[in-house]
Amino acid sequence: MGKVNSKSMHYSFKSKKKNRQHTSMNSFSSTSSTTSSSDISHSSLSSQDQPIPNDDELFHYVDNRKFYKWNEYLNYVYPVDNDETDRGQMQHFMYKHVWDGNFSSPIEQDLHSEFTRVLDVGCGSGTWILDMASEYQNAQFTGVDVAKLYPAEIKPQNVSFVQANVLVGLPFEDNTFDFIHMRFMLFAFTIKNWEIAINELVRVCKPGGYIELVEKDILWFNEGPFCKGARTVMADELREKKNMEIIISPTLQKILSQHSNVNHDEKVVPLGEWGGKLGKLYRDLYGWGAKNLKKVMTDIGFSEVEWNETVDICLKQLQERKGYDKIHRFWIQKKTFEELKQ
């Protein structure tokens, strides 16, 4: 492909969008319907009952980077390697700084009790768990992920890790945990997956316990026409070809509201040097993460060169226009048995 400029790329985005509009809308209508809780049944599994996949079953390699093999219950599009782990760890501490803490649910007092059990779903390398466990040394923390990226041996005494997939069923009894945390799953779940996962979190949460989700939409404010065109094509193609939704906060609000009253908070984060040290760090993390999406972007129709130049142009325009986005936290309190009887 020849040299990309913002004007020619914008017209390309508009053309692609117009040619595909009818098909993608029909696809969205057929896939975005929610799944009722009665359609989803998970037995209470022991850790021995859930089959543990080996690496050959889980992964394949593209350009010397490891990726999950896609199937109905495994849809993560980022690479699974040290580079992506490093990015996730940096993102954790940036988010902690932005929110001035690791959670919003009103559980601070409970975390000082040795009887409190906390679950982190999709824990990755365990950064959130390890950070929390060092601060709240009495509570018991469990991390769950489909791959063993977490430390198997060197970890605090109040931390354990389990290899499991929330979309297949968590290996815990009903009503086990006082607090359940899940974040950064935007590129791990299809539209259908979200409701399956949240229903499973509710199942293993104790009555009166809290469930908290942290996500950000791929939605920029003060964006220019090129950024809007690129983002719209990305959203349409992912929805049509991967059944993924990149503006997920309305969906999370809707699913969570089926279970309890939803609490929601958001933080505005600058994208670019115009926002000082935070804006520069966020811009770097955003570019890092976007370019780590190269494989799925080529899967849905971008060339590698086109995608890399699209990312660079978008970040440049967001800097020029003082662009920003928003990070969302949602939390609910599971109803008690008495409330369910009412």
pLDDT digits (tens, 9 = 90+) for 141-176: 999 999 999 998 899 999 999 999 999 999 999 999
Token pair belonging to 215? 């996500």
Residue 55 burial class via C-beta count within 10 angstroms: exposed 0-12, middle 13-18, buried 19 and up = exposed
Helix (H, G, I), strand (E, B) or coil at 41: coil
Reported as a single tens digit per residue, the pLDDT across 52-70 is 677 788 899 998 899 999 8
* All domains in the chain, ordered by first residue: 55-334 (3.40.50.150)
Contact criterion met (CB below 8 Å) for 226 and 14: no
Angle at 230 between CA 224 and CA 232, to 5 degrees: 100
**Distance separating alpha carbons of residues 235 and 147, to the nearest angstrom:** 27
**Distance separating alpha carbons of residues 178 and 119, to the nearest angstrom:** 8
pLDDT above 50 (res 30): no
pLDDT above 70 (res 26): no
pLDDT above 50 (res 41): no
The separation between CA 214 and the C-alpha centre of its own chain, rounded to angstroms, equals 7
Helix (H, G, I), strand (E, B) or coil at 263: strand
Q: How confident is the model at residue 32 (pLDDT cuts 50, 70, 90)?
A: very low
Token pair belonging to 340? 């369910």
Helix (H, G, I), strand (E, B) or coil at 137: coil
pLDDT above 70 (res 13): no
Pairing between strand 177-183 and 117-121? parallel
pLDDT above 70 (res 212): yes
Q: Where are the beta strands (DSSP E) in 260-311?
A: 263-270
| Among candidate residues 302, 269, 271, 267, the one with its CA nearest the CA of residue 288 | 271
Mean pLDDT across 70-96 = 94
**Distance separating alpha carbons of residues 240 and 114, to the nearest angstrom:** 47
Mean pLDDT across 307-328 = 97
